Structure 1
Amino acid sequence: MIARLLALALAAILAACGGPARDWPPPSPALWEISGPNGQAGWLFGTIHALPKGVQWRTPALDAALDRADLLVVEVANLGDGKSGKGAFAAVSTSPGLPPLLQRVAPGDRAMLSQALRRAGMDEADFGTIESWAAALIIANRTRSGDSANGVDRALLARGLPVMGLEGFAEQFAIFDRLAQADQAELLRLTAQDTDRDDHMAQEAWLTGDLATLEREELSGVLADPELHEALIAGRNRAWVPRIVRVLESGRHPLVAVGAGHMMGDDGLPALLAAQGYTVKRIQ
Structure 2
Amino acid sequence: MTRLLAALLLALLAACGQSDWPEPAPALWQVTGPAGRTGWLFGTIHALPDGAEWRTPALDAALAKAGPLVVEVGDLADPAVVRSVFARRAYTPGLPPLLARVPPDDRPALSAALNEAGLKGGDLTSLEDWAAALTLANALRAGDVTNGVDRALIEEARRVIALESVDEQLALFDTLPAPAQTALLRDAVREAGTPDDGKRTVAWLKGDVATLERDAATGLLADPLLRERLQTGRNRAWLGTITLLLDEGARPFVAVGAAHMLGAEGLPALLQARGYTVTRIQ
User: What is aligned with 2:106?
Assistant: 109
Q: Distance in 1 between matches of 2:5 and 2:192?
A: 12
3-state SS of 1:63 partner = helix
In the superposition, relative to structure 1, how do residues 46 and 5 fare at CA in structure 2: closer, same or farther (>3 Å)? Answer: farther
2:7 matched to 1:7?
yes
**Which runs of structure 2 are paired with 1:48-63 in the superposition (5 Å)?**
48-63=45-60
> Which residue in 1 is equivalent to 2:251?
253
- 1:19 shift after superposition: 4.6
Please give the alpha-carbon distance, in whole angstroms, between the structure 1 residues aligned to 2:65 and 2:216. 32
Counterpart residue number, 2:274: 276
Whether 1:90 aligns to 2:87 is: yes
Question: Equivalents in 1 of 2:32, 2:50: separation in Å?
Answer: 35
Distance 1:160 1:84, change over 3 A: same
Offset, 1:261: 0.2
Task: Please say if residues 51 and 151 of structure 1, whose CA atoms lie closer than 8 Å, have aligned partners that are also in contact.
Answer: yes
Partner Cα distance (1:31, 1:162) in 2: 20
When structure 1 is superposed on structure 2, of 17-26 and 173-182 the one drifting more is 17-26
- Helix, strand or coil: the match of 2:278? strand
Aligned match of 1:173 in 158, 167, 170?
Answer: 170
5 Å matches for 1:200-239? 200-239=198-237
Q: Which amino acid aligns with 1:50?
A: A
Cα deviations by residue, 1:91-119 (Å, 9 ceiling, x for unpaired): 10111111111111111111111111122
Counterpart amino acid of residue 276 in structure 1: R
Q: How does 1:125-140 map to 2 (within 5 A)?
A: 125-140=122-137
The residue that corresponds to 1:75 in the other structure is 72
What is the CA deviation profile of residues 47-95 of structure 1, one whole-angstrom value per residue up to 9, with x for unaligned ones? Answer: 0001112211000000000000011000011232111111111110111
Structure-1 separation of matches of 2:123 and 2:246: 46
Task: Give the whole-Å Cα distance in 2 for the aligned partners of 1:19 and 1:224.
Answer: 22
Q: 1:144 aligns with which of 141, 148, 152?
A: 141
Aligned-pair identity in percent equals: 54
Alpha-carbon deviation of 1:256?
A: 0.1
Q: CA deviation at 1:21?
A: 5.1
Aligned length: 276
Aligned-residue offset at 1:8: 6.0
Contact 1:51 1:145 in 2 (8 A): no
SS of structure 2 residue aligned to 1:75 = strand
Aligned partner of residue 70 in structure 2, secondary structure? strand
- Gaps (5+ residues) in structure 2? none
Q: Measure how far apart 1:199 and its partner are.
A: 5.3
Within 1, Cα distance between the matches of 2:227 and 2:105? 24
**Counterpart residue type for residue 270 of structure 2:** L
Which residue in the other structure is 1:263 paired with? 261
Match of 2:191 among 189, 194, 202: 194
The TM-score with structure 1 as length reference comes to: 0.93
Distance 1:202 1:237 in 2: 21
Which residue number corresponds to residue 13 of structure 1? none
Aligned-partner Cα distance in 1 for 2:6–2:108: 22
Secondary structure of 2:156's aligned partner: coil
Q: What SS is found at the alignment partner of 1:24?
A: coil
Q: Displacement, 1:9? A: 6.0
Matched residue, 2:17: 20
Give the superposition deviation at 1:161.
2.2
Residue 26 (structure 2) pairs with residue 29 (structure 1): yes
Deviation at 1:139, TM superposition (A): 1.1
Distance change (3 Å), C-alpha of 1:65 and 1:269: same
Is the 2:68–2:158 Cα contact (8 Å) retained in structure 1? Answer: yes
Question: Deviation at 1:158?
Answer: 1.2
